[in-house]
Amino acid sequence: MISRRKALRTGAGLAAIAAVGAPSILHAQTKTLKITTWGGKWGEVMKATVLPAFEKEFKCTVSADQAFPFLPKLQVSSKNDPIYDVLHTNSNEQWNAVVEGLVMAKITAKEVPNIADVYPYAVSDKIVGVTIFTSAIGLGFRTDKGLTKPTSWKDLADPKLAGARGGYLIPVNSLGQAHLMMLGKVYGKGLTDLDAAYKALEALKPIKLVDFTGQMEKMLLSAEVSMGVIHDSGVYRYEGANMQPVDFASPSEGVLALEQVLNVTPGSKVKELAFAYIDYMLRPDVQKLLAEAVWYSPANKKVKLEAKYDAKLLTTPEKVATLIQPDWKWYNARREDIDARVTKILKG
Amino acid sequence: MTNAARPTPIAWLIAPAGLLFVLFFVLPFAVMTAMSFYSGNPVTNPNAFLTTRHYERFIFDTAGIFHEALWSTLRIGLITTVISLLIGYPLAHWMARMQSRLGHALVLMAVIAPMLTGIVVRTFAWMTILQDKGVINTTLMQWGLIEKPLPLMYNEFGTIVALVHIYVPFMVLTLTGVIGRIDERLEQAARSLGAGRLRAFVEVTLPLSLPGILAGSLLVFALSISAYVTPSLMGGTDVLTLPMLIAQQVGTSFNPNFAGALGVILLLVSLAIVVAYNRILARLAGGQGMA
């Protein structure tokens, strides 16, 4: 027979175990999704609205890394227990990641149902993972310098713009890399005509080069350059801010796609949740919120944007057809040679 | 246990610093060196193999950019160090000999104040001053003194100007401590024996301050050759340094093995320069190695 004292002692012991163990049990039940995401306005909206709503709906916590670059961190983490479950980068980095087996090669509507509603470019053969948004890379220009709105990529080579045109340090910036390929298309036989591209690049000197788009935005806003390669979002997001005399032009040869791509790491322990997150990011309401916050063109065809966004972003099949997607697999395979060549061309 | 085997109190006090040095320098450097001899990451890639190809890539430099990048890195480091010394020494001497405690405190605050602002912010400040539409060029053009902007930025000149501004405080603070400890009466004695002000300085104060010059120079040189943000923002197309190439290899080319090899090469070349510099200064001082 159990004595009263023994029963009390046993009860107290069980209560203590329960009290100590409860947080870990609770923790075990709450899954954590590890993602990468951008900072700035995008990061603000994600942290304030998008991610809390996802956490509430899927009863999980999201750990978001905004400290770029992400791929080197993924490279050194274990493939069986990767540092991220969902990798958000531009398209060319996804191609680097898939070569090393760090992300999935393809994601279909079976795993992410909203893929059924995306434009074809979002899951084309130029994409590893799924595109959730895209920007259009074209030409940003000052409207107060007596320039006519550029209609061709060739307008950047106008002698009047010597020293007042802007581009990117090609080895470190995907807009610069995409622009180099576009020079091959405009001046040569196509995106892969590197000889024509190198020659055209040489003709753009003197040119001011920066390593990230934020710096190009700053150079345009301060009139340090009168025209430069930039994505539409980098110009449109200043709309209404002190009436900046800066505008964006889509050259007739086409605009280059700067895709925002999500992908899942093969070793993720919460793969279902990772797919659910991508599906959530493709929902029309989430797409609308983010698209209007940062002027990104949504990948989901069903998204209806406010008129002022709809007028400028790629929201119809006709406008989407002007997008040119670079072959990053091809580019990355030649990257070392290209980096060396363009560095020599642009130095001095 | 004998007394000889027992750690002294000093050893215990040094232990945390030693541990930090091992954990945050020796260990990462060893990993980086090991990685530089592999084709990939041996932890995550079972097919990674031992190779010297990253060093061969640098040595043979078929791309034609790596040797120039190394020379550019060292040149910027040396010029920044010399200019920082030329600016910093007189200031440090003045501070060390200042009688007024309030004056000393005010000058010290002026020297330290820029260090309270981040390097990125200070570099952006220099950009607004030196760029084509910056304060200097705009003013000179408005006054009609120049027609085209002066090339103050997007080159080595702008990079060195910004680096000197950032690293002069390190030189001044190092030199002030050393010059302050030199007995002023030695200089007075030299003058009472007939030496002029300049000769007393050159033959007495300057040799005695050589340890400070060495320490300050090494500090500024080490910081300059490892600078990344400032050359990236100020250099434009004209400047390509090894730290920029290393960041490029890690961050956008995703080749940490070659980045590791570049890091090892930069360290070895820098060490060789430091040893040579130490010996030259020691010879000038007429003594043994100083550091």
ipTM over 0.95: no
DSSP letter at B22 equals I
- DSSP string spanning A207-243? -EEESSHHHHHHHHHTTS-SEEEEEHHHHHTTTTSTT
Nearest CA-CA partner of A251 in A173, A323, A158: A323
Q: How many domains does chain B have?
A: 1
Question: CA-CA distances (angstroms) from residue A66 to A6, A35, A70, B71?
Answer: 55, 9, 8, 35
Same domain, residue pair A117 and A147: no
Q: Judge contact between B122 and B162, C-beta under 8 A.
A: yes
8 Å CB contact of A69 and B65: no
Provide the domain limits for residue B108: 67-285
Q: Is residue B279 included in any domain, yes or no?
A: yes
pLDDT at B77: 96
Does residue B1 carry a pLDDT above 50?
Answer: no
Q: How confident is the model over B53-80, as pLDDT tens digits?
A: 999 999 999 888 999 999 999 999 999 9
Residue A25 has a pLDDT of 47
Residue labelled with tokens 């602002």: B117
Q: Average pLDDT, whole number, for chain A? A: 91
Query: In chain A, what residues touch B63 (CB-CB under 8 Å)?
Result: 336-337, 339-340, 343
DSSP one-letter code for A150: P
Angle (nearest 5°) at CA A167 between B67 and A259: 105
* Residues on chain B touching A211 (C-beta within 8 angstroms): 232
pLDDT in tens, B235-256: 987 899 999 999 999 988 889 9
Range of the domain at A150: 137-254+329-346
Residue A310: what pLDDT?
96
Per-residue pLDDT, averaged over B160-179, amounts to 96
Looking at the structure, do residues A203 and A279 belong to the same domain, yes or no?
no
Count other Cβ atoms within 10 Å, centred on residue A65: 16
Q: What is the pLDDT of residue A6?
A: 56
Q: What is the pLDDT of residue B47?
A: 87
Determine phi and psi for A140, rounding to 5 degrees: -95, 145
The list of chain A residues with pLDDT below 70 reads: 1-29, 240-243, 348
pLDDT of residue B287: 56
Question: To which residue do tokens 């920082």 refer?
Answer: B84
CB-hemisphere CA count at 13 Å for A239? 14
Where b means 16+ CB within 10 Å and e means fewer, A305-332 reads: beeebeebbbbeeebbebbbbbebeebb
Predicted confidence (pLDDT) per residue in A53-65, tens digit: 999 999 999 999 9
Tens digits of residue pLDDT in B172-195: 999 999 999 999 899 889 989 988
pLDDT level of residue B9 (50, 70, 90 thresholds): confident
Looking at the structure, tell me whether residues A221 and A336 fall in a common domain.
Answer: yes
Q: How far is B154 from chain A (nearest CA, A)?
A: 8
DSSP state of A68: S
pLDDT tens digits along B263-285? 999 999 999 998 998 888 878 77
Same domain? For A141 and A158 the reply is yes
Contact B253 A344 (CB under 8 A): no
Which residue in B65, B133, B250 is closest to A340 by CB distance? B65
Closest residue by Cα to residue A253 from A137, A133, A105: A137
Tell me the one-letter amino acid at B137. N
Q: Is residue A53 situated within a structural domain? A: yes
Domain membership of residue A5 (yes or no) is: no
User: The domain spanning residue B221 has which CATH number?
Assistant: 1.10.3720.10
Residues of A in contact with B243 (CB under 8 A): none
